Structure 1
Amino acid sequence: MMKEEALNEFVDFVIQERMQRAFSRMKDGKELGREDEIERKYQEAVALLPPDKEQAIREYCDAIFDSGADAEQFFYRLGLKDGIRLHKIIKNILKELS
């Protein structure tokens, strides 16, 4: 049981380190507050449109964000499957060694 706990801790550590590195790389080079500035400009531009055009633009942006969320979910699940597969492989290796 101790080996399995150690394995779980190791896998958790590797996953956390990987996620932190990936997040740090993603954030590197991005200006602080840039998203807020973009959102403000978007709201200003949309406010100048007639209501029907404003609604069309908002629906278009929502569709883009939704498709991005779908891709994010796909890659998250793919990474999760890889992590589970790695966990099983390491567990089998440890079982073989003992």
Structure 2
Amino acid sequence: MSSFSRALAMEYQASGVIVQTVTPLVVSSNLSGVPPVRLLVKSPDDFVREALDTVGVSDHTSGCLLHFVQSLLLRPIYALSVLLLQAALLWKSLLAPLRRPFGRA
């Protein structure tokens, strides 16, 4: 989605059209299962109000300050989990030829 948005922004840049990628975290809505508004969950109205303030300022945004801070904190955890998954898949592929079929000596 991010690549598509960048391409679209470049295509329409001369015509004055603003294309912005918004990657929110949890917003209390029917789509997200209506979690209650809490410290880490924004209401739709509050989220949209803050997100609209970023139009024309940045081509990519989390939509609000709270989601930006959360994404900064979650990014290292996500990167580590991807790294661990890749390492596990590599070890699995390296060990696969050494495994004996079940029931054979």
TM over 0.5: no
* TM bucket normalised to smaller: 0.3 to 0.5
Return the structure number with greater relative CO, CA threshold 8 A, min gap 6: 1
